[in-house]
A and B are shown apart, each in its own frame.
Chain A
Amino acid sequence: MTDLVAQGLAEPPLIDPRKSFADVTAEVSAPLEKKPGMLWKVAFGISLLLTLQFFAEISYQMVKGIGIWGLNHPVGWAVDITSFVFWIGIGHAGTLISAILHLFRQRWRTAINRSAEAMTIFAVMTAGLFPLIHLGRTWFAYWLIPYPNVRFLWVNFRSPLVWDVFAVSTYLTISLCFWYTGLIPDFASIRDRSTGWRRAIYGVLSLGWRGSERHWQHYERAYMMLAGLSTPLVLSVHSIVSFDFATSILPGWHTTIFPPYFVAGAIFSGFAMVVTLLVILRKVFKMEDYVTIHHLENMNKIILVTGMMVGYAYATEFFVALYSGNPFERFTFLNRAGGPFAWSYWIMVSCNVISPQIFWFKRFRRSLAVMFVVSILVNVGMWFERFTIIVTSLHRDFLPSAWSYYKPTIFDYSVIVGSFGFFFMWFLLFCRFFPTISMAEVKSVLWSAKKTAAGKEKEPMAEETVHA
């Protein structure tokens, strides 16, 4: 009986135990060692073009001012801050996978953590551009940093916008440290199988790592410490982003639910982006043996759970607004669901709350086509969530004479598609030049899979005691 229960609960192997350690090195390094295919080149070309028009737009906007966007009173924040919050949120899934799942000993993370962390870094880089270009006079961006200056002024540390500067820059720095620490042993593996200039470059990147146990001992502990620091960090970053709104007095922003609501939404959208990227990556770079349907199914489960958390937050927010007895609060929410921007609210609800419900069915959780479509819908929905929060709360403020409707211009669209181009450009470069799967970690999972497979053939207990 207990055996049957154990069998039912047993996880399928994370990797085919018949693979050898050398197979892992060879297959993960393969995309780095040959010329990229046509698909990569076309994708890179498109993202490069989008990035170029992005920077052309930014240059033009620096000359003309942010009035070229559809921003006007009372909607002073729109596409820029929406995209900032969206991209920061995308990044959070990477840290969740790499740090929180590491602390919880979820070993299925090993196949996906590298690409998810890369996604974090590129998403935060993309996000960081938006507050800068939103400043209008971007060349004064260094005023955000407290430094001794001739004006004898310091930044106002009571302002959540200043907290944001520290949170986002810390997040980028620590994510980079964490990512690079993970990459060191893999760079060494690539160094040891290559020759010539490639060996020299990966040799420098590996810092001379040789896999000594005395080094692994420090490495494992340092990695654990970085995971431990990143876990509260990721929660703090989106909480602080939400403080940008929550500490204001605007109805629709001024709510205490914002920090957990934003963090859940960030993880939700980030996981959707990981699924989008991995469905493509595993196909293009032939990583189906590493990023299995089982991995993707696990992520879809998280999308289902966080999607419902987000849906619950929408309901709570609405209920509290109606129950509060505050006419302004009540109006803001009725205006969201039934006002001029109702289309955006209902895009958000249908994409974020309704579309992930399909993942209750195992068949759809394991279908690549379904998960790809749902992950894109969730990304669209999460972009519109931020748009709804920001724009609909602003466009009808306390004085009806000031009400207006936000109409994006071509430049608003240009920065949105441009930011996607910028993000994908970096991600494609990463896939081409860096190992997209953590070889060292996958090898340790592979060894466990081999032992489990061997144990099923022979007596399992004896094998276990040897390893323990």
Chain B
Amino acid sequence: MLNPFSRKPAPSRGVLALYDDPDKLLRAATLAREHGFANLDAYTPYAVHGMSEALGVKKSWVPWVTLVMGLTGACLALTFEIWTSAVDWPINVGGKPMVSLPAFIPITFEGGVLIGGTMTLAALLLACGLPNLGKPILDRDLTNDRFGLWVPEIGPEWNEQRVINVLRGTHAQDIRVVRV
């Protein structure tokens, strides 16, 4: 899933090449990209270092959510503290100023972390389109010990044989056409 908001029809089939080794997958991904195959994806049991560069996946925008939401949470917490303590019902506690800024800092910080952290998880789920229980699993070993390269169908001129021919030299354990 490239963009959770896009309404483009999903590809109905693609070529899945399975490897037993992340380095072979990296080389195959680089090769596939050199041949101009688009919308490549890889399925791996763990985050393989260098994989997104090999596939040309754009850097994640999730950290921006953390930053913006963290600052928002901190501002909200501080505003709420000032409003309740100094505006809505100002109560003199031990002669301390109504806006006791140093005393308000701990909750300001916690508010930033709380909103920033929960929204980071929410952004992760949104970015990955999760939960998504209906999508088919291409191969059960992809979360175990297989590393898969996924070359999806794009446009009517897409030729699966050409993809298979390119990937044949990449020491794949298995190359198959999968309909999804």
B44 touches A213 (CB 8 A): yes
Q: A167-B110, A219-B47 are in contact. Are A211 and B133 (CB under 8 A)?
A: no
The residues of A that contact B11 with a CB separation of less than 8 Å are none
* A255 CB–B CB distance under 8 Å: no
Interface with B: A133-141, A226-234, A363-371, A393-401, which one? Answer: A226-234
B44 touches A216 (CB 8 A): yes
* A146 CB–B CB distance under 8 Å: yes
Closest chain-A Cβ to B37's Cβ sits at a distance in Å of 14
Majority SS of interface residues in chain A?
Answer: helix
Q: Of residues A169, A211, A224, which shows the largest number of chain B Cβ atoms within 10 Å of its Cβ?
A: A211
Q: A218-B127, A221-B60 are in contact. Are A210 and B113 (CB under 8 A)?
A: no
* Complex Cα gap A452–B79 (Å): 53
* Complex Cα gap A277–B2 (Å): 42
The residues of B that contact A184 with a CB separation of less than 8 Å are 130
* B81 CB–A CB distance under 8 Å: yes
Interface with A: B138-146, B153-161, B168-176, which one? Answer: B138-146
B83 (CB) vs chain A CBs: closest residue? A154
A157 touches B45 (CB 8 A): no
* Complex Cα gap A152–B124 (Å): 38
Given contacts A152-B88, A177-B117, 17 further A-B contacts (CB under 8 A): A158-B85, A158-B100, A167-B110, A180-B121, A189-B143, A207-B125, A211-B44, A212-B128, A213-B57, A215-B127, A216-B52, A218-B127, A218-B128, A222-B124, A225-B116, A225-B120, A444-B47
* A326 CB–B CB distance under 8 Å: no
- Top 6 A-B pairs ranked by shortest CB distance? A21-B145, A154-B84, A207-B131, A222-B124, A208-B132, A213-B42
B80 touches A146 (CB 8 A): yes
Residues in A117-173 with C-beta less than 8 Å from chain B:
146, 152-158, 160, 162-163, 166-167, 169-170, 173
Number of A-B residue pairs having CB atoms within 8 Å of each other in the complex: 218
* Complex Cα gap A233–B113 (Å): 7
Residues in A409-468 with C-beta less than 8 Å from chain B:
439-441, 443-444, 447, 466-468
* B51 CB–A CB distance under 8 Å: yes
* Complex Cα gap A230–B131 (Å): 24
A467 (CB) vs chain B CBs: closest residue? B23
* Complex Cα gap A463–B48 (Å): 16
* A203 CB–B CB distance under 8 Å: yes
Interface residue from B41, B62, B114 paired with A222 (Cβ < 8 Å): B62
The residues of A that contact B127 with a CB separation of less than 8 Å are 215, 218
Interface residue from A178, A210, A236, A440 paired with B106 (Cβ < 8 Å): A236
* A214 CB–B CB distance under 8 Å: yes
A213 touches B128 (CB 8 A): no
Task: Map CB proximity to B onto A55-97 as digits: 1 under 8 Å, 0 otherwise.
Answer: 0000000000000000000000000000000000000000000
Q: Which residues of B contact A (CB under 8 A)?
A: 1-2, 22-23, 41-52, 55, 57, 59-60, 62-63, 66, 70, 80-81, 84-85, 88-89, 91, 93-94, 96, 100, 103-104, 106-107, 109-111, 113-114, 116-118, 120-121, 123-125, 127-128, 130-135, 137-138, 140-145, 150
Q: A146-B80, A213-B44 are in contact. Are A208 and B117 (CB under 8 A)?
A: no
Closest chain-B Cβ to A223's Cβ sits at a distance in Å of 8
* Complex Cα gap A216–B25 (Å): 15
* Complex Cα gap A189–B43 (Å): 12
* Complex Cα gap A181–B52 (Å): 20
Closest chain-A Cβ to B74's Cβ sits at a distance in Å of 12
Closest chain-A Cβ to B124's Cβ sits at a distance in Å of 4
* Complex Cα gap A212–B128 (Å): 9
A192 touches B141 (CB 8 A): yes
Interface residue from B66, B100, B103, B106 paired with A166 (Cβ < 8 Å): B106
* A388 CB–B CB distance under 8 Å: no
Q: List 21 A-B contacts (CB under 8 A).
A: A21-B144, A21-B145, A154-B89, A156-B85, A166-B106, A170-B114, A188-B143, A192-B140, A192-B143, A193-B140, A203-B133, A204-B131, A207-B130, A208-B130, A210-B142, A212-B43, A215-B128, A218-B128, A224-B63, A226-B121, A232-B113
The residues of A that contact B89 with a CB separation of less than 8 Å are 152-154
